Amino acid sequence: MRALRGERPDVAPVWFMRQAGRSLPEYRALRSRGTMIEACLDPALASEITLQPVRRHGVDAAIFFSDIVVPLALIGIDVEIAAGRGPVFSHPLRTAADIAKAVEIDPALVRERGEVIVDAVARTTDMLAEEAAGRGEPLPLIGFAGAPFTLAAYLVEGGPSKDHLAARRLIHDDPAAWRALTAWLAEVTGQFLALQVSAGASAAQLFDSWAGALAPAVYRESVLPASAAALRAVRELAVPAGSGIDRVPLIHFGVGTGELLADMASLDIDAIGVDYRVRLDDAVGRIGRDLTVQGNLDPALLFAPEPVRTAAVHDILAAGTAARAHVFNLGHGVPMDADPDAIGAVVRTVHEWRMP
């Protein structure tokens, strides 16, 4: 939390995107039945899964176990997460009429039907407090949600895509429909992010997994306003009296967004995630603002020999000194076939490193 606010602790903090889930055998044992969305909406299961990597790897923060499409499921959109594929929608939003019908759904339903999310966050923060007492240091929970562009890309295509052509086409073919869709999604996903924070998450991250498919000018014109609106939902929350903070730290991350870093950094955020394609010291030069950086080990290096992996971690930590503060992470999520022992070894390497 101190690093997200711009301080530089003696020991670099570390957590991993997708640290909770499929790479862990204890997760696979828990998830032997039911669907992914059912697991996300089961408070006892979601909280236990969230804690698993904290216990196993010794990371410095938990990321709430959920999925970016959960708020859409909460408001009645028919979606399933297909194994090996990802989110699949039974009724893609292919036309302006489809979009007009969808945006009639009230985003406030996320909060009205989100009791299970509140319960899961409360359980998780209680469990983290117990774990932190044993460690003698706080363990924050990071909430998360998908950015409007990434959600729109799935909705318009009906599922995953290699090039997100359907979304990119809609931006140019029907700008009014695109604006209506992303403005609505900003409310939906913003409500989901705010729900987690109001229930007890200490920080939050907005994921824009597919924004890297866009040209910078298109991103600025057709995506950035909706991302700003989603983050605004958290900024508008009242910070609890006596909490000792004046704002909840917000992180924004996108895949393949090296050319968009300055635009992403223009949002009201405290930290920016950098994927593995850009060195952190280069990213600092592109960002143009005094932000904390997060990242950015290539997930492929989890499979590398120990000396190679350790050298890469040291290089990233050194590059991260160019920023006001650095939160170590991967440059994308933990691969499902990654060795948990390698993940734990990265955590130890980060914690043992000291700034030269």
Residue with tokens 């039911």: 34
Rounded Cα gap, residues 164 and 168, in angstroms: 6
Name the strand (E) or helix (H) holding 287: helix 280-287
CB neighbours of residue 278 within 10 Å: 21
Q: Where are the alpha helices (DSSP H) in 67-114?
A: 70-74, 96-102, 109-112
Q: How far is CA 241 from CA 4, 113, 128, 247, in A?
A: 20, 27, 22, 11
Helix, strand, coil percentages, rounded to 5, for the chain: 50, 10, 40
Collapse the DSSP code of 338 into the 3-class scheme (helix H, G, I; strand E, B; otherwise coil) and give the result.
coil
Active site residues: 18, 22, 31, 67, 154
In angstroms and rounded to an integer, the radius of gyration of the C-alpha atoms of the chain is 19
Q: The tokens of 244 are what? A: 């000792």
- How many Å apart are CA 76 and CA 79, to the nearest integer? 9
Helix (H), strand (E) counts: the chain = 16, 9
Query: For residue 19, which amino acid is it?
Result: Q
User: 312: closest CA among 274, 338, 280?
Assistant: 280
285 CB neighbour count, 10 Å cutoff:
12
- Other C-beta atoms lying within 10 Å of the C-beta of residue 165: 13
